Amino acid sequence: MLFLLVFGTGSIVVFRYSRGIPAEPSTTSSENTRIAVDVISPSRTTLKRSVEVFGSLSAKNVTEVKSELPGRVLQIRVKEWDHVSPKDILLEMDPMDYKLELQRSQAGLKIAEAQLLKAKVDLNRAKRELNRTLKLKEGGLVTGQELDERRTALESAEAQVALADAQVGQARAQLAESNRNLQKSSILAPIQGIVSERKVDVGDWVDKGAHLFSIVDNRILDFTATVSAIDLPLVHEGQLLTFTVDGLSNRVFEGRVHRVNPTVNASDRSGRIQAEVKNSDDILRGGVFARGQVVVEERHDIMVVPADCLVGWDMEKETARVFVVTEGGVAHSKEIRTGLTEGGKVEILGGLTGAEWVVSRGGFNLREGDGVYISNQEGNP
């Protein structure tokens, strides 16, 4: 559908309406008085509000393997950077002293069991003697003093059995401890991971509690990050965190916030958060610097326009103006309310219906009522 407009200069402008787009002039002379602009129609999408963070990665599980017993290192089974699994043998200490201790404990248990057996025999004898004395007492053949002596002997025998039984228990406990000590002479890996540090050599004497190895489990990492005090109240446990690391900038990694420090550092007015990161492909390493964003808000199906459309944008007050092109090729300024911003797109909270054609390029010098012609034919480049 065509409309003819005759201007005072004698030029004739033909406006074309196609798909609701304001028609552009058909004559080149009109372009001298009208401003070329591109227009777009507001779209609907999902925007996220994010808080910038930076920090470093560290392994969540780092274990120091220590000696539980003193001894001399006889053999080392692993090297630094070796992968280990739980119960893999890392180191063997000279077991001779602990084997001798085990033999002594075994002998001590046998002695204690023999003493218990003897005490039980003595107890049975004391019971028989008391029974015999009771029968003789009924016939008047023994005195009361003799009967008391038999009863005392029985009580003593019972006490000896109890003592011998306790000694057997003690000997068994000592034997169990000797067995454990012999087993502890072989140092085992407590977790799955990588041997990051070895602190002993063959022939070294180590004391109880000596640090032998460090094992790092890189399957789960902690991203400890710094957040500005202004943004800290927006961060909560469970929120998504995305980040990149130096050397792998082409990859984006993800984690979940699982700790938020409630205090703020007085020196730099920053807070700290910690996110848990799964490292299933074992590509990340502890100590690496990382930059990321925590998604603190997400809105779906909202009206957006490119940020380039906005004129006089007051981000603090969340207001701006845009130019819309009406039929006839006239630019009109409209005040809008803005919301979230992400990736060059701005949420429109008010001022537009979504059906307008908004100037996306060429609107910097526009004024209310200026004549324009649309340079992008489709109106949505």
- Give the H or E element holding residue 75: strand 71-76
Comparing 376 with 52, the larger pLDDT belongs to 52
pLDDT the model gives residue 3: 39
Asked whether the predicted pLDDT for residue 336 surpasses 60, the reply is yes
Contact, 47 vs 347, CB < 8 A? yes
Residue 21: is its pLDDT beyond 70? no
pLDDT band at 29 (very low <50, low <70, confident <90, very high): very low
Question: Angle, nearest 10°, between helix axes 144-184 and 96-138?
Answer: 160
> How far is it, in rounded angstroms, from Cα 344 to Cα 307?
5
Kindly state the tokens that stand for 104.
């002594």
Structure tokens at 276: 């848990």
1 strand-pairing partners: none
| Stretch (H or E) spanning 107 | helix 96-138
DSSP conformation letters of 322-364? EEEEETTTEEEEEEEEEEEEETTEEEEEES--S-S-EEEES-T
Measured CA distances, 210 to 157, 179, 184, 200, 203 (Å): 49, 21, 13, 9, 14
* Residue count (the chain): 381
Cβ atoms 379, 16 nearer than 8 A: no
Domains and CATH numbers, the chain: 2-45+300-374 (2.40.420.20), 51-60+217-299 (2.40.30.170), 95-184 (1.10.287)
Q: Is the pLDDT of residue 58 over 50?
A: yes
pLDDT band at 121 (very low <50, low <70, confident <90, very high): very high
pTM of the model: 0.63
DSSP sequence for 141-171:
-S-HHHHHHHHHHHHHHHHHHHHHHHHHHHH
Split at pLDDT 50, 70, 90, the class of 353 is: very high
Q: Is the pLDDT of residue 143 over 60?
A: yes
Average pLDDT score over residue span 343-363 = 93
The predicted pLDDT at position 328 comes to 86
pLDDT for 281-307, tens place per residue? 889 999 999 999 999 999 999 999 999
Rounded mean pLDDT, 105-134: 95
